[in-house]
Amino acid sequence: MNWKHALMGLTASLVVVLAVSQPAWAYDEAEAKEEKPAAAETAAPAETTEEAPAEEEAPPLTLSEIYYALDNSMLFLCAVLVLFMQSGFAMVESGFNSSKNTINILFKNLMDVCVGVLIYYSVGYGLMYPDVENPMMKPNGYFGFGQFGIPAAGEPGPAVLHKQVDFLFQVAFAATAATIVSGAVAGRLKFSSYLIYSIVLTGIIYPVSGYWKWGGGWLNEMGFYDFAGSIVVHAVGGFAGLAGALVLGPRIGRFKDGKSVPIPGHNIAQATLGVFILWVGWYGFNPGSQLAFAGSANTDAVMLIATNTTLAAAAGGVAAMILGWIMYTKPDISMALNGVLAGLVGITANCDGVSNIEAIVIGLIAGLLVVFGILALEKLKIDDPVGAFPVHGLCGIWGGVATGIFAEHDFWTQVTGSVVIPVYAFVTMFILFSFLKVIGQLRVSEEDELKGLDLSEHGMQAYH
């Protein structure tokens, strides 16, 4: 027990020592705390001279900067919509064609974007939108050319576009013009030849004709008007497709004993989905071409454009359905689908300058034209599996001419531009396709065509 008593005594002694010592420790700590401010006060003058200045608050955004941000952000979203139209084209073209060519069509559309972006960045954008500061170097009206790539951005302001987003929007248009041809030459064109075509159209043919109007070239100086590309985009693609179809010739079995033999598409549901995707994408194509969104005037314009686009598409679908019903005794969904696209193409040149009723009329006439165009191709034994020429070529011209009828633009000027650009596209592409044919690089062999381009060109199948 003694050791317990000794331990208790030692503990009690330790507690007493701690209790007595605590005030001294507390005092020392408090004293140290009091000394630190004094030392700090002493050193304050020296530190003040070395201290970094406090950050200034960022000034509030100006109205010009807000407009700049809104315009460019909205244009970027429109560029995304237009680029997404490539998936719509892929669905329409593959759905309207044989299943044995599905991969080939999808691959071509993919490369239209991948190759097209690089070529348009390297050459096409500078050809189409020359940005030359030196007046002595101003390009002529027929062949513009600016610097390589994308010029530097300008000062922020209303309706001022950042060059990067402007490029994104414009390259999506270039890819659209190129991919229109894919459906017209489906099932028999070599993949390598298609890549050559896509490079030439995206890098030279489309940018040059686009410069004539949108880059400030001779058609623009003349007063020709094409708001979003009925002629510059769609007619170029449509007539390039016609040239390809003519030089290639029809698919094996398409015409027999002087008669047309239909080769039905393998997936109409897929084609229908593609048309709806294209319709939605057109809300980037047409309203985006306003190129400015801030302010009440731009908002009013965009809403008119969007409504006219919708009305023309609907009218085109109804007109094609009715005429097809009359001519074939049964309603044909493929005609109605092409009618919707025809209405969209027809309104693209003038959607900002016509009334709602006029938009319906333009769409109705486009829907009728596409049916007559498809029948005319059959009579002439020209094989266009998806109706690319009637939809984009024929109705593209209608859109340009309709601008001179319904909008406030000179009729004969519109006729001039609506003829010159398609003829230019047709002739140049006819020469290119003919050259590829002469050197034996245009069309696949009969055996490969019958086997299907998925297997013969790519060694794989879309369906198992």
73: confidence class by pLDDT, cuts 50, 70, 90: very high
26: in domain: no
403: in domain: yes
Cα angle, residue 164 at apex, residues 158 and 166 outer, rounded to 5°: 60
**Amino acid, res. 237:** G
DSSP 155: -
Q: What pLDDT score does 55 carry? A: 62
Question: Which domain does 202 fall in, by range?
Answer: 63-458
Contact predicate 111/179, CB 8 Å: no
Tens digits of residue pLDDT in 400-441:
999 999 998 999 999 999 999 999 999 999 999 999 999 999
134: confidence class by pLDDT, cuts 50, 70, 90: low
Backbone angles phi, psi at 181, to 5 degrees: -70, -30
198: in domain: yes
Q: 27-41, 226-240, 342-356, 362-376: lowest mean pLDDT where?
A: 27-41
* Cα–Cα distance for residue pair 41/353, rounded to 1 Å: 74
DSSP 350: T
Q: What pLDDT score does 63 carry? A: 84
2: in domain: no
Q: What pLDDT score does 18 carry? A: 37
- Is the pLDDT assigned to residue 367 strictly greater than 90? yes
Q: What pLDDT score does 51 carry? A: 55
Contact predicate 178/198, CB 8 Å: yes
Strand pairing category for 255-256 and 259-260: antiparallel
- Is the pLDDT assigned to residue 10 strictly greater than 90? no
* Mean pLDDT value across residues 233-240: 98
Three-state SS for 279? helix
Cβ-defined contacts of 287-292 (< 8 Å, 24+): 287/78, 288/74, 288/75, 288/78, 288/79, 288/81, 288/82, 288/169, 288/228, 289/227, 289/228, 289/229, 289/352, 290/352, 291/71, 291/75, 291/159, 291/161, 292/71, 292/158, 292/159
285: in domain: yes
72: in domain: yes
pTM: 0.85
* Cα–Cα distance for residue pair 444/425, rounded to 1 Å: 24
Q: Which residues contact 443 (CB under 8 A, 6 or more apart)?
A: 188, 189, 190, 248, 249, 437, 449
Contact predicate 94/262, CB 8 Å: no
8: in domain: no
Instruction: Assign residue 108 the CATH number of its domain.
Output: 1.10.3430.10
Phi/psi region, residue 55 (left: phi>0; alpha: psi -120 to 50; beta: rest), is beta
Q: What pLDDT score does 138 carry? A: 66
Tens digits of residue pLDDT in 326-357:
999 999 999 999 999 999 999 999 999 999 99
Structural domains of the chain, count: 1
* Cα–Cα distance for residue pair 338/394, rounded to 1 Å: 12
Q: Which residues contact 383 (CB under 8 A, 6 or more apart)?
A: 245, 248, 249, 250, 251, 254, 255, 377
447: in domain: yes
